[in-house]
Amino acid sequence: MIKNTIIVSIFSLALLSIFSCGEEGLIDPHGAVELSPLASEGFQAADFPTNNGSAWTYLNVGLGLYDPGQEETILDLREETFTIRIEGTRDISGFTHRQATVSEIRAIVLTEQSEEERFFRAAVDHLSANARYYRIDSDFLEFDLPIFSTYFLKTPQAYTESAFDVFVSFLDNPVLHQKHFPPRLLWDFPLQIGKEWAVFETKTSPANRVIRRVINTNVSVTVPAGSYNNAYLVEEEIVGLSQLPALKLSDDFQTLEEANYEPAKYWVVPNIGVVKYQYTYLLTDRTLANGSVVNLLFSGDFELNEFELPDDNSR
């Protein structure tokens, strides 16, 4: 009996040593854990920082998101930033996930009366599938809600997002928790030129399939946080949207003009993370004031303004 107990204990310790992932203590949510591969070329999981305390602040360099809903004249939107910060953990379906919290958007707004700092929440891309997040049953909502936080696992093979909190301002308890079905494979390591993978896909009608592909490496990019010449350029496409005719606001914001959905783009720098991303998204079957029904196209353009990374070699 004692001999059997010792054997079971040794076997349990062996399993723990295989299934644990170093400092992060994260376990693959699907149970299909692989041993760490030998070092190879490309962007490795260790190159993508996820330590507790890591933070990235992004500046909106495209159209402003601010919509005051008040009768006042916005003369200028001087600045608009938000921060994604890794802080804490949460159990998701029995596995420990890291939490990435999304801050309020900070805006410097110039009106006819004054220049002031304002805080609000709005739906932005949040670095995953063009803000296609919240759904009821199998259907994605035709409008986007602000994301409060996301929950992810990182292994040597992948960065997988399993759940998120959405912010609904008119509720008494505005933060609602929801799991992804299926989980989202945001990064499939190692990143190498030509590599392609499915972020997620649904089998129900209407089907949704999002894919990412590495289209270039050693790309030069300059953002407020610095200049880099070793970025990986990753494209993300929601399959089928490019075939839909759409309209977007003209540059002078006075008229609507024809436009086409384009895949999102992410510039990812080793040991820094995503330093720039651009995306377009569609709101389908929208009724205009003249009664016509159209698809409306919007866009986002964000650059890394500043970042904080803990001084730790284990990421």
The more confidently predicted of residues 13 and 124 is 124
pLDDT at res. 27: 40
SS3 sequence, 177-203?
Answer: EEEEEEEEEEEECCECCCCEEEEEEEC
For residue 153, is pLDDT > 90? yes
Tokens 């929950």 label which residue?
Answer: 151
Torsion of CA 238, 240, 60, 121, to 10 degrees: -70
Mean pLDDT of the chain: 77
Pairing of strands 74-92, 139-140: unpaired
Residues 167-205 have pLDDT tens digits of 888 888 999 898 888 889 999 999 999 999 999 887 766
The more confidently predicted of residues 202 and 100 is 100
Q: Where are the domains of the chain?
A: 22-27+41-308
CB atoms within 10 A of CB 258: 9
Alpha helices in the chain (DSSP H): 2-19
Q: How far apart are the first and last CA of the chain?
A: 42
pTM, two decimal places:
0.78
